[in-house]
Structure 1
């Protein structure tokens, strides 16, 4: 899937630092004097709702951007974890919040795109009740095992599982890592016994403790435990090898075309006025490229992959349609 990687010049334009060039290109910019006064967010409290447990990929990115966002907007920025229903409790909270830019959702956009096909009674429609603000990062899944598992490659792991099914930690039922595990099982003939958890950090902890043998989870949250040798890495789900993991093969080396991962982005309640949307999007796209933020996230396993609102919206709808077919084939439905 082709993702927009904007050069620094484009990021500066979105940040409103090249208004003349933007006007020439036909891109509208907010007017601080009338449409988006400089103090639109000043002195106020902005909540970034993370619908997953602390320590996961969305949580890591939310906390990395919170301080520079507060400084840029002269506001107080609070990260609030509202966990449950595979991220839908937090997403629903934001969807029903006032569209004033003071309540934002930091989520795995791919997981959010899966929910409409999975849940029979979803209390909100992501396409209608939420609007994209900015896509920030991509984190591939790492396929890891407890160090005691007697396999070092994906083919070895598959063969081992055929002798006796291996326990597979699921970060949340029908989450992107769960569906990736199902796809891997279908394409390789591996035998997994799925153990559901309420979040990535819990799944990681139990795999480290040996209560589960296999795990697929976002690289951003999982890499530190690979580096400390508490988890053994088998492969990475990115289309190409990751620089942070020299010598580690991709799953695609064994299963042609296989790719999975998490896409972290910010959403807002539908109806957010254009000036606030443009200001927030510009600041987020600028902040994610700040050297300190960028270097921190890349070192932990994120790929800074940005999209402005319109492109993020197109990405979401494409993901929604694609994963609907996967969910239907797997026969998954949740109330």
Structure 2
């Protein structure tokens, strides 16, 4: 078979073309961003991740020199929005605000997802920790977590709790607490929030995100028995952590930013730098703290590790409690 003939001209031409391509890519990346960036939020307007996105979008847009356009894609426990983000081009013009239930819990409880959280997303930074507060109605008998756990242990299956649904954050964090306490409570799965029924006394208790639980507790509509964070919340300093009774317990949720897989590392790094700077601004921190959140802003490597750990953690809880959604 005749061998291809490489002349000095063709070799130089090939090298020149490669250099031109690389140079063009560098120049194109150097212009980033030169148009608005889409910020996909997998929830409806007005819920906590959307509110946080809007708090961050304006200062982040100023830092990047381009506006961030929020694209709310609610539904199916965040799966719709996550798929939109996963299928978006990795060109640096899609940012994804998501939460631990989508990235850590859904893969553990759903039989099939239209994306792979480990392969289709590039972690950017953890934005904030989102504590859950264990709330009960003001007319309920238990005024402390210790009393609740003792009653549930004495009479298995005698205590009910509500959640946002099978496989939701409030469901799995409650089951983790039950496992560590050696108790069994009855899960009542709602299609929405059970909070109003907790207040009315129709279901005794539920874990609720701090963003909505704190106003209820401070307004005297619900009693807080415990909080999922390793440390007490400044917003509820008198409310103990679950870990004070069950050492090692950490059921906090979180909110964080990802970009589609394939986004150039330099762009992901720049996005990380600018978001962390925004999260360090006192006015931004105060707004997040007022919502009951704990601002973070960490490195890509740290957030990647947290993402992997969360994935493994909730997979264990889901398997131990046979939590599956077909």
Paired residue for 1:106? Answer: 97
The reply on whether 1:220 has 2:211 as its aligned counterpart is: yes
Distance of aligned partners of 1:157 and 1:55 in 2 relative to their CA distance in 1, 3 Å threshold: farther
Which residues of 2 match residues 189-268 of structure 1 at below 5 A? Answer: 189-198=182-191, 202-268=193-259
C-alpha displacement of 1:132:
0.6
C-alpha displacement of 1:323:
2.1
The answer to whether the 8 A contact 1:136-1:305 is kept is yes
- Give the SS at the match of 1:259: coil
C-alpha displacement of 1:198:
4.7
- Partner Cα distance (2:191, 2:266) in 1: 37
The answer to whether the 8 A contact 1:220-1:297 is kept is no
- Partner Cα distance (1:271, 1:198) in 2: 35
C-alpha displacement of 1:266:
0.4
Q: Greater shift after overlay, 162-171 or 101-110?
A: 162-171
Paired residue for 2:20? Answer: none
RMSD of equivalent CA atoms: 2.5
The answer to whether the 8 A contact 2:275-2:297 is kept is no
The answer to whether the 8 A contact 1:57-1:220 is kept is yes
The answer to whether the 8 A contact 1:287-1:293 is kept is yes
Cα deviations across residues 47-70 of structure 1 (Å, max 9, x unaligned)? 322223444432332122122122
Paired residue for 1:300? Answer: 291
- Partner Cα distance (1:197, 1:180) in 2: 16
The structure with the largest alpha-carbon Rg is: 2
Distance of aligned partners of 1:206 and 1:276 in 2 relative to their CA distance in 1, 3 Å threshold: farther
Cα deviations across residues 58-103 of structure 1 (Å, max 9, x unaligned)? 2332122122122223333233332333222211111011112332
C-alpha displacement of 1:135:
1.1
Paired residue for 1:41? Answer: 33
- Partner Cα distance (2:39, 2:198) in 1: 29
Distance of aligned partners of 1:81 and 1:209 in 2 relative to their CA distance in 1, 3 Å threshold: farther
Cα deviations across residues 140-193 of structure 1 (Å, max 9, x unaligned)? 211111222222101222345548734422124212321111122233355533
Q: Which runs of 5+ in 2 are unaligned?
A: 1-25
Distance of aligned partners of 1:90 and 1:172 in 2 relative to their CA distance in 1, 3 Å threshold: farther
Cα deviations across residues 260-280 of structure 1 (Å, max 9, x unaligned)? 111211011101122321222
- Partner Cα distance (1:102, 1:204) in 2: 37
Q: Greater shift after overlay, 232-241 or 73-82?
A: 73-82
TM-score with structure 2 setting the length? 0.82
The reply on whether 1:186 has 2:179 as its aligned counterpart is: yes
The answer to whether the 8 A contact 1:149-1:213 is kept is yes
Q: Which runs of 5+ in 1 are unaligned?
A: 1-32
Number of equivalent positions: 299
Paired residue for 2:166? Answer: 173
Which residues of 2 match residues 73-84 of structure 1 at below 5 A? Answer: 73-84=64-75
C-alpha displacement of 1:119:
1.7
Distance of aligned partners of 1:81 and 1:197 in 2 relative to their CA distance in 1, 3 Å threshold: farther
The reply on whether 1:286 has 2:301 as its aligned counterpart is: no
- Partner Cα distance (2:191, 2:75) in 1: 7
TM-score with structure 1 setting the length? 0.80
Paired residue for 1:6? Answer: none
- Partner Cα distance (2:140, 2:69) in 1: 40
Question: Which one of the candidate residues 89, 105, 108 is aligned to 2:80?
Answer: 89
Distance of aligned partners of 1:54 and 1:255 in 2 relative to their CA distance in 1, 3 Å threshold: farther
Distance of aligned partners of 1:75 and 1:195 in 2 relative to their CA distance in 1, 3 Å threshold: farther
- Give the SS at the match of 1:126: coil
Paired residue for 1:312? Answer: 303
- Give the SS at the match of 2:203: coil
Distance of aligned partners of 1:240 and 1:60 in 2 relative to their CA distance in 1, 3 Å threshold: same
The answer to whether the 8 A contact 1:164-1:191 is kept is yes
